[in-house]
Amino acid sequence: MSDEQELGITESKQYNTGEWYAEVVQKAGLANYGPEGMSGFIVTRPRGYALWESIQNYLDGEFKKTGVQNAYFPLFIPESYLEREKDIVEGFDPEVAWVTHGGHEELEERLAVRPTSESIIAPYMAQWVRSHRDLPLRVNQWASVVRWEATETKPFFRTKEFLWQEGHTAHETRDGAWDETMTRLSQYQSLYEDVLAIPVLRGAKPEHDKFPGADTTTAVEALMPDGKSVQAGTSHYLGTSFAEAFDLTYTTEGEDEEPAHTTSWGLSWRSLGALIMTHSDDQGLVLPPTIAPEQVVIVPIWQADTQEKVLDYAEDIAEDLEAAGVRVELDARDERNPGFKFNEWELKGVPVRFEIGPNEVDDGVVTAVHRPDGESVELDRENIAEAVEEQFDEVYAKLYAAAEENLEANVREASARNEILGTIGQHGGYVKAPWCGDEDCEDEIKDQIAAEIVMVPLNDEDAEIHDGEDCAVCGDDAEETAYFAKSY
Amino acid sequence: MSDEQELGITESKQYNTGEWYAEVVQKAGLANYGPEGMSGFIVTRPRGYALWESIQNYLDGEFKKTGVQNAYFPLFIPESYLEREKDIVEGFDPEVAWVTHGGHEELEERLAVRPTSESIIAPYMAQWVRSHRDLPLRVNQWASVVRWEATETKPFFRTKEFLWQEGHTAHETRDGAWDETMTRLSQYQSLYEDVLAIPVLRGAKPEHDKFPGADTTTAVEALMPDGKSVQAGTSHYLGTSFAEAFDLTYTTEGEDEEPAHTTSWGLSWRSLGALIMTHSDDQGLVLPPTIAPEQVVIVPIWQADTQEKVLDYAEDIAEDLEAAGVRVELDARDERNPGFKFNEWELKGVPVRFEIGPNEVDDGVVTAVHRPDGESVELDRENIAEAVEEQFDEVYAKLYAAAEENLEANVREASARNEILGTIGQHGGYVKAPWCGDEDCEDEIKDQIAAEIVMVPLNDEDAEIHDGEDCAVCGDDAEETAYFAKSY
């Protein structure tokens, strides 16, 4: 297989989204599949991990600005701890990887590889909290978790082990905990909208689809180009159920003993999957400049007699950009022609390409080309660092606008069962419909087209849709507006 | 138990080092022990984790400046992979935690929770490397690993799960790989000497104590105040054994197929243990300003009639320091008196305390007190940010000097078996002695006083000690200079 063939994406995003996605992930050097016998695991390569580091840096900064401290809890959870909160054990039981032996000895009690850490964090928070003065308490950990789901591997979207952060907080009151839940949901929204160029919807999960043991599960949902929704980050108000199960209580000012109100919230490398899926195309990866490891690649174009002047000029520009904090790569490889380089850096998702030949040198300009639409603009050599920041803003705005257009065009309404089925079947996307709140009505849709209720809006935002209406499925009185969609 | 009693350290560093260490770790809020049934595991609390983050930030920066990229490999390793490098399987077999079940199903092949990742990283590097143009290849991961050792838990020093980084590289030549091995060893040395205020020795492990499968294991060793040595970071030249076991080969310029030369190198949160153990005292934690989460604590001292002017002055100073990038905490709590605050912040290891009363306000000064020696200096209010940086340098220099003095006073020489035993028995520390290279001679010492050969100097630095001499234990010709010591 020649290098050229290896470089190209052969699948079509539009017609074979799944295969295309897998190809982009591998050919752009983001991840490989795990070893034989370990389906569901992936190896995150440096170019993929660098994207995750950018997401970490952004969120970690936001968390720390808002009172969160990082900590680290054990990888394993004793089975008896998992069992203390009955919803947790029921919710995760079928998905747990179990450690049964340490060295040559069988363990007395088997240990769960953490599927999430509420049941080991809550008992420690219980030790740390005595009085109302110790609240709010906010800890977060960046960690890997394991959920033994037997589905097809989809790198970053669906893997048995995944990287995430999980935040856990305790508060005096329901209001304090609810504010926390919303603060974290907003930070997730901001990651998507301000860093990843992906507009999201916010909502709550239906009762039967909440995090096990939670009072309320809220989520941001992102619509992928294939019409499926991704649960892109979740923030749970846990009520007092975990506090009661793990004796997380505090003494009030009046010396009463009260259970704390707790929250947990998590965002995983699924965000990376959404990023790749949303913007990339049949040429490969597309990244917004906010997160691209290289924001600009400079491709010099020379003949033997112009090589020196072109290279000197290109090096100068690279230095200027670097000094201004721009992440720039000068591709001065002699053994590759410009066309090859264009393809390679397009595949890798560099948002802005500078083409510099002898004409550019003579005119004191550079030709800047946007990824993905190929728009080309001439920039003055002077103030190049400022000019390129404007190009970044433009590229970002284009990516965001395209994703927003897709989202806005794909939220539809329906008032009857067949309308829900037909609309999702034909267009994908979200269908808003009045709903009685009964899981059976969701099941009827799920059984037919594998679409489910991915959220109901918070704060009754879509009240006009269900007020005085009948459930689109069963015809009973509607209580909520349900967003039906197929989902990842 | 009153707050005052809880705050104080009750054990003596000099007489009960182990108990004192455990008390400092817990009372300074660095870590708790794991849950029942999980001896060997700890919970790293925010104040402890912040120190680990500082170590990460420093090393990660150094790595990235020298060509290393981060990646992430699966938490689990199939048993058959571990078995491919026979030394690895023999070396780690008794220490592996095994996952045998996923959900309700027994796995076909059991999976090791990684004790170290050579056996899963090497086969992927083998896929990524084809020609000499792909080399050197350098990846690092920050991860947790598990080694099921049945010894007493000592937070950060000895835990079944620990956090570390593991770097893995591949090179064309032995020289390239050896340079890499030394580069990483130097970066570890620099972490200890320039950030943690701990001088270290560099050396190689004896043949029988190498990393399983390695050609050469090098390490930095730090001497603790109780006379025991800590293996504080290791850097392995692996030769071509891993490359051969995992088909990590490359095509040379002459189109030959050659196995790569590989290295691996790791530093764990044991560095945190060494930091706590080296500098802390009977008042609690002591931290160098380089790494302290709070570098300065301001304790205002007021009466009712001076409260406002003292607080205003203190707040102004806190703002100035913050603006200059100093990590400062103003402890303006009304319900605690200054003496209580002094004790609390000493326990927590803040390197510089500012005491500000009405006199300081009137004179336009602050009183700065160093931790740990209590030296007090008056600083001008003007240029306070510059002045405090000088204080940081002084505190750092004092901590380093004390550690260096301890090290220099505790490297002794011996030329006979009983001299080795007597010297270590009486003083602890290192004893340099000529050695034939035979493990049996080390065993004789080990059996008597549990001291071992922690290193032999690199580059034959101590050649004068063994040249023409006899092994201090058996009397045969000496080949090397061995450093005997008790170790953590």
| Of residues B359, B363, B353, the one with CA closest to residue B388 | B353
Residues B399 and B371: beta-carbon distance below 8 Å: no
Residues A114/A62, Cβ–Cβ less than 8 Å? no
Task: Give the closest of B35, B111, B161 to A75, CB-based.
Answer: B161
A275 near A287, Cβ under 8 Å?
yes
- Specify the pLDDT at position B272: 98
CATH 3.90.660.10 is the classification of domain A3-279:
no
By Cβ distance, the residue of A72, A99, A120 closest to B44 is A72
B296-394: which CATH architecture? Answer: 3-Layer(aba) Sandwich (3.40)
B99/A94 CB distance under 8 A: no
pLDDT tens digits, B437-448: 999 999 999 999
Pairing of strands A452-457, A430-435: unpaired
Domain boundaries, chain A: 3-279, 296-391, 413-485
Rounded CA-CA distance B186/B193 in Å is 10
Contact B49 A36 (CB under 8 A): no
For A75, nearest residue in chain B (alpha carbons): B161
Q: Which residue has the higher pLDDT, A189 or B6?
A: A189
Taking domain A413-485, whether its CATH number is 3.30.70.890 is answered by no
Q: Across the interface, do B46 and A52 touch by the CB < 8 Å criterion?
A: no
Parallel/antiparallel/unpaired status of strands B261-268 and B229-239: antiparallel
CA dihedral over B240, B242, B247, B248, signed as positive or negative: negative
- The answer to whether the Cβ–Cβ distance between A99 and B109 falls below 8 Å is no
What's the confidence (pLDDT) of residue A4?
45
Are A184 and A167 in contact by the 8 Å Cβ rule? The answer is yes
Contact A94 B113 (CB under 8 A): no
Nearest to A96 among B78, B93, B103 (CB): B103
> What H or E segment, with its residue span, contains residue A431?
strand A430-435
State residue A115's pLDDT score: 95
Quick one: CA dihedral B373, B377, B381, B387, positive or negative? negative
Q: Cα angle at B69 between B64 and B72, to 5 degrees?
A: 135
Minimal Cα–Cα distance from A147 to chain B, Å? 9
- The second-level CATH assignment, the architecture, of B411-485 is 2-Layer Sandwich (3.30)
B94/A104 CB distance under 8 A? yes
Fold match, A296-391 / A413-485: no
Q: Find chain A residues with C-beta within 8 A of B99's C-beta.
A: 97-100, 113
Q: Which residue has the tokens 């032999």?
A: B456
pLDDT at A444 over 90: yes
Nearest by CB to B44, from A71, A95, A110: name it.
A71
* DSSP H/E element including B202: strand B201-204
Joined together, the tokens standing for residue B483 give 């450093």
Q: What is the mean pLDDT of chain A?
A: 95
Residue contact B72–A44, C-beta within 8 A: yes
At residue B476, what are phi and psi to the nearest 5 degrees? -70, 175
Q: Please tell me whether the peptide bond between B136 and the residue prior to it is cis, using omega within 30 degrees of 0.
A: yes
The H or E element that residue A145 is part of is strand A137-146
User: Across the interface, do B35 and A71 touch by the CB < 8 Å criterion?
Assistant: no
d(CA A466, CA A298): 55
Nearest to A75 among B104, B111, B144 (CB): B144
Closest CB to B49 among A34, A70, A161? A70
> Cα–Cα distance between A408 and A400 in angstroms, integer?
12
How large is the C-alpha radius of gyration of chain B?
25
Beta bridge pairs of residue A189 = none
Contacts of A57 in chain B (CB under 8 A): none
- In this complex, the residue of A34, A46, A123 whose CB is nearest that of residue B139 is A46
Contacts B104 to A, Cβ<8 Å: 93-94
Burial letters A239-262, b for 16+ CB under 10 A, else e: bbbbbebbebbbeeeeeeeebbbb
Interchain CB distance below 8 Å, B73 and A43 = yes
b/e map B16-35, b = 16+ CB within 10 Å = ebeebbbbbbebbebbbbbb
Contacts of A73 in chain B (CB under 8 A): 43-44
pLDDT digits (tens, 9 = 90+) for A7-29: 689 999 999 999 999 999 999 99
**Concatenated DSSP letters for B2-27?**
-HHHHHS--S-TTT-HHHHHHHHHHH
- In one-letter notation, the amino acid at residue A484 is F
**Residue of chain B whose Cα is closest to the Cα of A159:** B74
Residue A114 is classified by DSSP as P
Residue A143 tokens read as: 């960690």
| Closest B-chain CA to A34 | B74
- pLDDT, tens digit, for every residue of A117-149? 999 999 999 999 999 999 999 999 999 999 998
- Pairs of residues, one from chain A and one from chain B, whose beta carbons lie less than 8 Å apart: 156
Answer whether residue A89 shows pLDDT above 80.
no
Q: Do B72 and A148 touch (CB under 8 A)?
A: no
What is the nearest CA distance from A99 to chain B, expressed in angstroms? 4
User: What are the chain B neighbours of A146 within 8 Å (beta carbons)?
Assistant: 75
Phi, psi of A17 (to 5 degrees): -55, -45
Looking at beta carbons, which residues of chain B come within 8 Å of A129? none
CA angle A428, A429, A433 (to 5 degrees): 105
Q: Inter-chain contact B98–A101, Cβ cutoff 8 Å?
A: yes
Q: For position B4, what pLDDT does the model report?
A: 45
Predicted interface score ipTM higher than 0.90 = yes
For range A399-424, the mean pLDDT: 96
Q: Residue A94: its pLDDT value, please?
A: 81
Residues (pLDDT < 50) of chain B are 1-5
CB–CB of A76 and B36 under 8 A? Answer: no
Q: Tell me what pLDDT residue A84 has.
A: 85
What's the rounded Cα separation, in Å, for the pair A439 and A456?
A: 13
Q: Return the bridge partners of A411, or none.
A: A430
Residue A6's pLDDT band, with cuts at 50, 70 and 90, is low
Q: At what angle do helices B46-65 and B270-279 cross, to 10 degrees?
A: 110
Structure tokens at B325: 């990038």
Token pair belonging to B40: 């060997």
pLDDT exceeds cutoff 50 at A442: yes
Residues in chain A: 488
Joined together, the tokens standing for residue B400 give: 């380093």
Residue B161 in tokens? 């799960």
Of B46, B101, B144, the CB nearest to A98: B101
pLDDT of residue A3 exceeding 80: no
Asked if A32 lies within 8 A of B127 by C-beta distance, the reply is yes
Q: Do A38 and B76 touch (CB under 8 A)?
A: yes
The distance of B26 to chain A (nearest Cα, Å) reads 12
Chain A: nearest CA to B77, how far in angstroms? 9
Distance from CA of A480 to the nearest CA of B (A): 35
Burial class (CB in 10 A: 0-12, 13-18, 19+), A459: exposed
Residues in A closer than 8 angstroms to B35, CB to CB, are 74, 78, 81, 120, 123
For A217-270, how does the pLDDT look when each residue is reduced to its tens digit (9 = 90+)? 999 999 999 999 999 999 999 999 999 999 999 999 999 999 999 999 999 999
Cross-chain Cβ contact B148/A93 below 8 Å = no
- For residue A372, say if its preceding peptide bond is cis, omega within 30 degrees of 0: yes
Return d(Cα B352, Cα B368) in angstroms, integer. 6
Residue A441: is its pLDDT beyond 70? yes
Cα A34 to Cα A38: distance, rounded to the nearest angstrom = 6
What whole-number distance in Å separates Cα of residue B26 and Cα of residue B32?
A: 6
DSSP A268-302: ETHHHHHHHHHH-BTTB----TTT-S-SEEEEE--
For residue B80, the chain A residues in CB contact (below 8 A) are: 37
pLDDT in tens, A68-84: 999 999 999 999 998 88
Cα A473 from Cα A456, distance rounded (Å)? 16
Residue A368: which region, alpha, beta or left (left: phi > 0; alpha: psi -120 to 50)? beta
Q: Is residue A5's pLDDT more than 60?
A: no
Residue of chain A with shortest Cα separation from B42: A74
H helix or E strand, kind and range, residue B58: helix B46-65
Q: Quick one: pLDDT at residue B6?
A: 63
Judged by CB atoms closer than 8 Å, whether chains meet at B97 and A93 is answered as: no
Instruction: Name which of B34, B53, B124 is nearest A43 (Cβ-Cβ).
Output: B124
CA atoms within 13 A of residue B347's CA, in its CB half-sphere: 23
Q: Which residues in chain B have Cβ-Cβ distances shorter than 8 Å to A96?
A: 102-103
HSE (side-chain half, CA atoms, 13 Å) at B59: 32
Give A45's contacts in chain B (Cβ within 8 Å).
71, 128
Instruction: Quote the pLDDT of residue B360.
Output: 97
Q: Which of A38, A52, A78 sits opposite B78 (nearest CB)?
A: A38
Q: List CB contacts (< 8 A) between B76 and chain A.
A: 38, 41, 97, 161
Q: Which residue of A has its CA nearest to B38?
A: A78
CATH no. for A296-391: 3.40.50.800
Q: Which residues of A touch B37 (CB under 8 A)?
A: 78, 80, 108-109
Q: For residue A199, is pLDDT > 70?
A: yes
CB contact under 8 A, B99 and A96: no
Residue A399 DSSP SS3: helix
